[in-house]
């Protein structure tokens, strides 16, 4: 009994520590502490990381030697490209870098963002509040401006010149707001959106990300036309196989012997 009483406070402490750790995770995906981006020591650490992992492509001033000019990307651009894992790129000369886990720790990401932000005059990391958004307004904005490339179900699709509109399933709230300001790749810049419209659009995309598929297998949510094509091919193929099986099971008639 005494051991049980001693174990209860320990269990409560573990649970409290777990809850605290989970509460530290930012569901919006900021990763960095924006108040630390102006700290000289953070910028100095970022410069060291930049000189090791970035300078060979982007040059000492970010103007780009074998890679794009990043001087106008600002804190928002650095945060988006690094947190999405698109930078550093895995292969040289690819039309579009893929999303992947970042090789940098949160502290290293913060330092790199702080340093890249000093290379030019780019956008700040935006403030996002999806809870203040309106789903109806966000849905209208998404259908008018985003669905043509990213599909109604966020699956993405092919574009020209070997590029693609990536899936929006894993993106965070702050990354959505950042790409609206940056217009990466072939995506246009949507800086005409108000803060309220950005919150509404982010809220709608997050709603789609969290939706289940009550009708069964989602087929990747690639849209009604390809999904309908799959249904027709699979359904027709199944009917054909069943028809062949039924035909093979039909009893054969035997001819009666002819008596001379």
Q: Do residues 136 and 93 share a domain? A: no
Stated pTM of the model: 0.73
Residue 60 tokens read as: 């000492």
Q: Do residues 42 and 73 share a domain? A: yes
The enclosing domain of 192 has a CATH number of 1.10.760.10
Is 173:198 a contact under the CB 8 Å cutoff? no
pLDDT at 237: 84
pLDDT at 77: 97
pLDDT at 189: 94
Q: Do residues 67 and 103 share a domain? A: yes
Q: Which among 210, 235, 255 is the end of a domain?
A: 210
pLDDT at 17: 39
Q: Do residues 108 and 174 share a domain? A: no
Is 157 contained in some domain? yes
Is 69 contained in some domain? yes
Total domains, the chain:
2
Is 175:128 a contact under the CB 8 Å cutoff? no
Range of the domain at 94: 34-116
Is 18 contained in some domain? no
Is 106 contained in some domain? yes
Is 12 contained in some domain? no
Q: Do residues 147 and 204 share a domain? A: yes
pLDDT at 67: 85
Per-residue pLDDT tens, the chain, 260 aa: give them.
444 344 434 333 433 433 333 334 689 999 999 999 999 999 999 999 999 999 999 999 999 877 889 999 999 999 999 999 999 987 765 668 889 999 999 999 999 999 999 999 999 999 999 999 999 999 999 999 999 999 988 989 888 877 889 999 899 999 999 999 999 988 999 989 999 999 999 999 999 998 865 455 555 555 555 666 666 887 788 888 888 888 787 666 555 565 55
pLDDT at 143: 95
Q: Do residues 90 and 156 share a domain? A: no
Q: Which among 195, 210, 225 is the end of a domain?
A: 210
Q: Which among 51, 84, 116 is the end of a domain?
A: 116
């Amino acid at each position: 009994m005494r051991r049980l009483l001693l174990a209860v406070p320990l269990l409560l402490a573990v649970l409290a520590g777990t809850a605290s750790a989970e509460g530290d995770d930012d569901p919006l995906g900021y990763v960095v502490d924006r108040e630390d981006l102006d700290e000289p020591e953070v910028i100095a650490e970022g410069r060291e990381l930049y000189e090791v992992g970035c300078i060979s492509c982007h040059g000492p001033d970010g103007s780009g030697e074998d890679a794009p000019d990043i001087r106008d990307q600002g804190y928002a651009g650095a945060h988006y490209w690094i947190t999405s894992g698109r930078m550093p790129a895995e292969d040289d000369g690819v039309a579009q870098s893929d999303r992947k886990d970042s090789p940098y720790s949160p502290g290293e990401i913060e330092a790199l963002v702080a340093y890249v932000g000093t290379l030019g005059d780019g956008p700040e990391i935006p403030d996002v509040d999806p809870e203040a958004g309106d789903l109806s307004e966000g849905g209208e904005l998404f259908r008018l401006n985003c669905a043509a490339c990213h599909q109604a179900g966020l699956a993405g699709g092919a574009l020209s010149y070997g590029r693609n509109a990536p899936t929006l399933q894993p993106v965070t709230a702050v990354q959505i707001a950042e790409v609206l300001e940056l217009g990466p790749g072939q995506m246009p810049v949507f800086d005409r959106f108000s803060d309220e419209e950005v919150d509404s659009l982010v809220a709608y995309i997050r709603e789609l990300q969290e939706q289940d598929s009550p009708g069964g297998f989602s087929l990747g949510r690639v849209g009604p036309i390809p999904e309908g094509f799959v249904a027709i091919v699979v359904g027709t193929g199944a009917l054909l196989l069943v028809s062949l099986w039924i035909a093979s099971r039909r009893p054969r008639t035997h001819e009666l012997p002819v008596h001379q």
